Amino acid sequence: MGLTKTYKDGTTPSIAVIGAGFSGLCAAIRLQTQLDISSYRVFELEPDIGGTWWSNTYPGCACDVKSHNYAFSFEPNYEWSRAYAPQQEIWEYLRRTARKYNLYDKISFRTEVTHVEWNEGRQKWVLDYVDLNTGHADRMEADVVFSGMGPLRIPHIPKEFESFEGPKWHTAQWDHSYDLTDKRVAVVGSGASAIQVVPSIVEKVKTLEYYQRTASYVIPRRNARYSALWKWMFRNIPFFHFTYYKILYWSSESLIGAFSSKLKDKVPRATVAFLAWVFRYFHVRDKTLRQKLTPTYELGCRRIVVSSNYFPALTRKNLNVHTERIASVKSNTLTLSDGSVQEVDALILATGFRAQDFLLEGFLIGEDGCDVAKVFGKNPNTYYGLTSPVTPNLFFLLGPNTTLGHNSVLFMIEAQVEYAIKAISYMMEKNLTSIRVSEKASRDFVDEVDERMKGMVWSSSCKSWYQNEDGKVTALWWGSCTRYWWRLRKFHPERFVGVQSI
């Protein structure tokens, strides 16, 4: 059955897309190509597109998913230079894609959406926004809203580092004007960003004080270059790129078993854990250092990191690994719980993001004047992370319980956008002003997620950004990408209620 592309009077809904990263661009492109809708506007806080890949420009920044799986399925990139693409290439890919689909004319850059509220009487969303270049505030009404702001956008900056008086910055706000050459530098944090930054700057700095909060499981990254022959085959041999993409996709899908706590899935998790152990053992010969770098939690509870230069970097003589708690920060010195003091010239915070604060209080007001952030609280009530009973005509992209620990989130984004496209088409077919998911459908999804998560390693005792402060996993999807797509391959109007005819 084809998609309905207009209301009965020939008009199309007005649509607001918040964010011009992968999520927002995907929504804009599919609105154009599948529904022929041009009555949309994209709001972007930054001066260019890219989202995460515009903001994160720290040395060594790269994707930890294979390049050919990190592109839109409808817009493959045959020119990736490496197995794992660096930040600059990903950003350039997004820019080329945006230009191809003429998206730049639809994007309002340096524009911050400050408030989004549902107007029941008019059956529209009201968006307040500010042009950051001029300070001019304005308002837009939209029939439909896509939230493509992403979960990893608000840097987490612990308050104890506010008292540091020297140059300091978060990895997502890298200060390229500061020359690290021969400087005494501190890096706090040991997640994916730190594991990319440290090897990229250690040879330049005089000393690097590395404060590891929690050791990570690290497996080797075979970052082979794609030769001109490979690129030619991707471009010219029928189905060659498609087959290669599918091989990468299914090899990643097969890893989902490594995150299950079930007895039958012990083997894949043990295999990955053994690989990480062998890699660490042969690259870190010093027993004391190796012990510091050995995780004490179950593999998969926190993100598994791919890097081949991390362990060698930590063995350099100008790098010191600290595992003691930072007791105080004063002037340009850091004092640890064991009493040791390190004086540094610059402080780099690789302390992650406020992933649980994907909505700030007061930003999104849904039906009956409810503050959606407060309604969600510690237990987001959504339907496949995509929409909720209190947000008619609004679609979250990479919302609660939809990010991944084993495969490319772009697959999830596309599945979500495709479902939203079907929902919008249904609205136009039935000539409806609004549509919202039922409380039962949403609750059934949340209850299933809670039950399924009991059998996943993410719910174990270790703390990660996947969990809220109560230990509930609110960030990740519990299963394979294929299962998520299968669940959303068809639109189910019987699960939506409260629609109103025009």
Domain boundaries, the chain: 15-49+103-154+354-501, 159-224+234-349
Distance in angstroms (rounded) separating the CA atoms of residues 243 and 247: 6
Task: Give 153's DSSP letter.
Answer: -
Note whether 329 and 164 are within 8 A (CB). Answer: yes
Distance in angstroms (rounded) separating the CA atoms of residues 24 and 28: 6
Note whether 111 and 44 are within 8 A (CB). Answer: yes
Distance in angstroms (rounded) separating the CA atoms of residues 254 and 365: 40
Distance in angstroms (rounded) separating the CA atoms of residues 189 and 187: 7
The predicted pLDDT at position 251 comes to: 93
Fold: same for 15-49+103-154+354-501 and 159-224+234-349: yes
The closest alpha carbon to 272, from 249, 244, 312, 301, belongs to 301
pLDDT tens digits for range 82-122: 999 999 999 999 999 999 999 999 999 999 999 999 999 99
Give me 424's structure tokens: 């919008």
pLDDT of 500 over the 70 cut: no
What pTM was estimated for this model as a whole? 0.94
User: Across the chain, what does the average pLDDT equal?
Assistant: 93
The predicted pLDDT at position 287 comes to: 95
The predicted pLDDT at position 210 comes to: 97
pLDDT tens digits for range 221-249: 999 999 999 999 999 999 999 999 999 99
The predicted pLDDT at position 498 comes to: 60
Sign of the torsion angle spanned by Cα atoms 299, 302, 304, 305: negative
**Segment 28-33 mean pLDDT:** 98
- 434 beta partners: 500
The predicted pLDDT at position 308 comes to: 95
The one-letter amino acid at 193: S
Beta strands in 273-370 (DSSP E): 305-306, 319-322, 326-330, 333-336, 341-343, 346-349, 364-365
Note whether 298 and 460 are within 8 A (CB). Answer: yes
Note whether 161 and 32 are within 8 A (CB). Answer: no
% of the chain with per-residue pLDDT over 70: 98
Distance in angstroms (rounded) separating the CA atoms of residues 258 and 271: 8
Provide the 10 A C-beta neighbour count for residue 475: 26
Note whether 187 and 313 are within 8 A (CB). Answer: no
Overall fold of domain 15-49+103-154+354-501? FAD/NAD(P)-binding domain (3.50.50)
pLDDT tens digits for range 248-302: 999 999 888 888 877 556 777 888 889 999 999 999 999 999 999 999 988 888 8
Residue 465, burial from CB neighbour count under 10 angstroms (0-12, 13-18, 19+)? buried
**Widest distance between CA atoms in the chain:** 74
The predicted pLDDT at position 442 comes to: 96
The predicted pLDDT at position 165 comes to: 93
Give me 459's structure tokens: 């719910």
Q: Is 361 helix (H, G, I), strand (E, B) or coil?
A: coil
**Which of 42-51, 130-139, 357-366 has the least mean pLDDT?**
357-366
pLDDT of 398 over the 70 cut: yes
The predicted pLDDT at position 261 comes to: 72
Instruction: Note the residue count of the chain.
Output: 502
Distance in angstroms (rounded) separating the CA atoms of residues 96 and 79: 12
pLDDT of 391 over the 60 cut: yes
The predicted pLDDT at position 265 comes to: 62
Distance in angstroms (rounded) separating the CA atoms of residues 197 and 172: 11
Distance in angstroms (rounded) separating the CA atoms of residues 430 and 426: 6
Give me 243's structure tokens: 């087959």
Note whether 299 and 77 are within 8 A (CB). Answer: no
**May I ask the CATH architecture of the domain 159-224+234-349?**
3-Layer(bba) Sandwich (3.50)
The CA-CA-CA angle for residues 440, 446, 451, to 5°, reads 120
